Amino acid sequence: MNIIYLNNTISKQKEEFKPIKKNKVGLYTCGPTVYDNPHIGNMRSYVMNDLLKRMFTFNGYKVKHIMNITDVGHLTSDADFGEDKLEKAKLKENKSAWDIAKYYTDIFKDYSNRLNILSPTKYVPATSCIKEQIKLVKILEDKGYIYKTKDGMYFDTAKFTEYGKLAGQNLADLKAGARIEMSKDKKNPTDFAVWKFSPKDKQRDMEWPSPWGIGFPGWHLECSTISTKYLKQPFDIHTGGIEHIPIHHTNEIAQSEAAYNEPMANYWIHFEHLLLKDAKMSKSKGKTITIDTLLGKNINPLALRYLTLQTHYSKRLEFSWKALGAAQIAYNRLGTKISGFKNGGKVNIGYINKFNTVINDDLNIPKGLALLWAVLKDNDIEDKNKKATILAMDNVLGLNLKAYILPKVPANIVKLADDRWQAKQDKDWDKADKLRKEIEDKGYTIKDSNDDYIISANE
């Protein structure tokens, strides 16, 4: 196996990846809370996760990938107060919480498919493992980590000596800087609910009996339960957005490690945000763009995937329509180019080895994408071998070039288009116009932008 390096959030350094089981990876991803359409900021995280999984597969690993679906227990504060997001959505849309969950789960899966994100080995809704979550709370109670308040059962963070290690803060620092609303019943500001009681004055759509009373699991509980059930503990890699570090993932670690006296996961990988002019995309603030928004503007969602490939997962990606438009042009140009190449070529091992090296260095996808373009521009490689090499790289990049190559454009037409483009650069307008007419007479349309062109067959 080739050596793979990952930047591990919990150790704060780049480490060589060493699997628990030879040639296998247990991967857990924090999935969506299914109360609304996921925005493109949400989807960037899942694209990054997909790239990580594809990288391991490219290196010969068998990946067991588990993703939860949060369909209960995620309150509007992301902590332990406010309304359940599903319960709130049901009132807005006049549907049951169960119907809301199914509807938005289906949309999430559709968006994932459009972005060519591979499905996990298993999606696991939080509501499918209530018994297991109650069992985990009982283990924590028997070990003395749990206490009761008026609104639920809480984890006493003061009893877990390593609380805050993922965020690089100790309990005292977290208490001093806590911005979590402090219930009079909570012993510490950082304490969190593992089981919430249903309101006495109304019945929820989603509630279950438990040894402590009728209610529902705390948000953090599902990930500890689901990951252990399907991957055991410890498992190899836990992923999620950076917003999960200070609360959600910190609390997962506390309850999992308190319960089982083992590390929860050996590697923690966190993905940075996609921003709109220095602001994180947020449903609550109304700053959202979805895959449906792109489709409404005739933008291929894979152009968004291409855009995400240009920035490392640990860096913020600032979204603009101009940048997305440029990404669509580049993606279409790539498809146009290789669609004119013959099949049956051989992979260039030299480029593939370079590609493998960069993607194995903390998932350096931008360098991998640059190598793809280097292959395309390398005049010493036959076109059919370029195509084979690029398609091999696409097993990681996931641009789905085999299926999404533009309508087949013959090599002679691509050559005419390139000659016309060069004539434009040389300001030979008569030649450029003549070549455009020749291209159109052969049944193709060419459209220019500031720095490239797109060619397509007429319908």
What pLDDT, in 10s, does the model give residues 234-263? 999 999 999 999 999 999 999 999 999 999
Decide which of 372, 387, 404 is a domain's last residue. 404
- Where does 208-296 have alpha helices with state H? 219-231, 250-260, 291-296
Confidence at 93, pLDDT banded by 50, 70, 90: confident
**Same-domain pairing of 221 and 336:** no
pLDDT at 233: 97
* Residue 301, domain member (yes or no): no
Q: Which long-range contacts (CB under 8 A, 24 or more apart) does 82-85 make?
A: 84/204, 84/206, 84/216, 85/33, 85/35, 85/36
Do 260 and 369 fall within a single domain?
no
Q: What CA–CA distances, in Å, run from 312 to 16, 166, 301, 315, 435?
A: 18, 21, 19, 5, 40
* Burial profile 344-363: b = 16 or more Cβ within 10 angstroms, e = fewer: ebebbeebbebbbebbbbbb
Banded model confidence at residue 405, pLDDT cuts 50, 70, 90? low
Predicted TM-score (pTM) above 0.75: yes
Helix residue ranges per DSSP H, 169-268: 171-177, 219-231, 250-260
pLDDT at 422 exceeding the cut of 90: no
- Residue 183 vs residue 39, higher pLDDT: 39
Same domain, 434 and 331: no
Looking at the structure, tell me whether residues 24 and 62 fall in a common domain.
yes
Q: Could you tell me if 366 and 320 lie in one domain? A: yes
Does 276 map to a domain?
no
Distance in angstroms (rounded) separating the CA atoms of residues 248 and 252? 6
Sort 131 into a burial class: Cβ within 10 Å, 0-12 / 13-18 / 19+.
exposed
Q: Which residue has the tokens 């997001």?
A: 85
Q: Are residues 211 and 353 in the same domain?
A: no
Q: Are residues 395 and 437 in the same domain?
A: no
For residues 219 and 152, give the distance between their C-alpha atoms in angstroms, rounded to a whole number: 13
What sections of 38-96 are H helices per DSSP? 40-58, 85-93
* Short-list 453, 109, 41, 73, CA closest to 283: 41
Question: Is residue 269 helix, strand or coil?
Answer: strand
**pLDDT score, position 203:** 85
Decide: 168 and 283 in contact? Cβ < 8 Å: no
**Please, what is the average pLDDT of the chain?**
90
Rounded to an integer, the average pLDDT of 69-90 is 77
- The last residue of a domain, from among 370, 386, 404: 404
Residue 44, domain member (yes or no): yes
Residue 146 has pLDDT above 50, yes or no: yes
pLDDT value of position 212: 97
Determine the Cα–Cα distance for residues 262 and 231; give it in Å rounded to an integer: 13
Q: Are 442 and 395 within one domain?
A: no
Residue 13 has pLDDT above 90, yes or no: yes
Show the DSSP H helices in 18-39 as ranges: none
pLDDT at 176: 45
Within a domain: 439: yes
In this structure, is residue 227 part of a structural domain? yes
pLDDT band at 83 (very low <50, low <70, confident <90, very high): confident
Residues 236 and 221 in one domain: yes
Q: Span 208-234, mean pLDDT?
A: 96
Task: Among 271, 297, 332, identify where a domain stops.
Answer: 271
Rounded mean pLDDT of 143-152? 96
Higher pLDDT, 9 or 87: 9
pLDDT at 278 over 80: no
Mean pLDDT of the region 19-35: 96
290 within a domain of the structure (yes/no):
no
Same domain, 82 and 39: yes
* 33 in a structural domain: yes
Confidence of residue 294 (pLDDT cuts 50, 70, 90): very high
Residues 257 and 340 in one domain: no
Domain tally for the chain? Answer: 3
The answer to whether the CB of 445 falls within 8 A of the CB of 459 is no
Q: Is the confidence at residue 181, as pLDDT, over 70?
A: no
Confidence of residue 417 (pLDDT cuts 50, 70, 90): confident
Within 10 angstroms of residue 410's Cβ, the number of other Cβ atoms is 13
Asked whether the predicted pLDDT for residue 180 surpasses 60, the reply is no
Q: List the domain range (segments joined by +) for residue 443.
A: 407-459
> Residue 30 corresponds to which amino acid?
C
The predicted model gives 73-82 an average pLDDT of: 68
Q: Of the given ranges (288-292, 335-339, 347-351, 382-386), which has the lowest mean pLDDT? A: 335-339
Q: Would 283 be classed as within a structural domain?
A: no
Statement: residue 227 has pLDDT above 50: yes
Same domain, 62 and 89: yes
In CATH, what number is assigned to the domain containing residue 398?
1.20.120.1910
Structure confidence at residue 88 as a pLDDT band (50, 70, 90) = confident
pLDDT of residue 182: 56
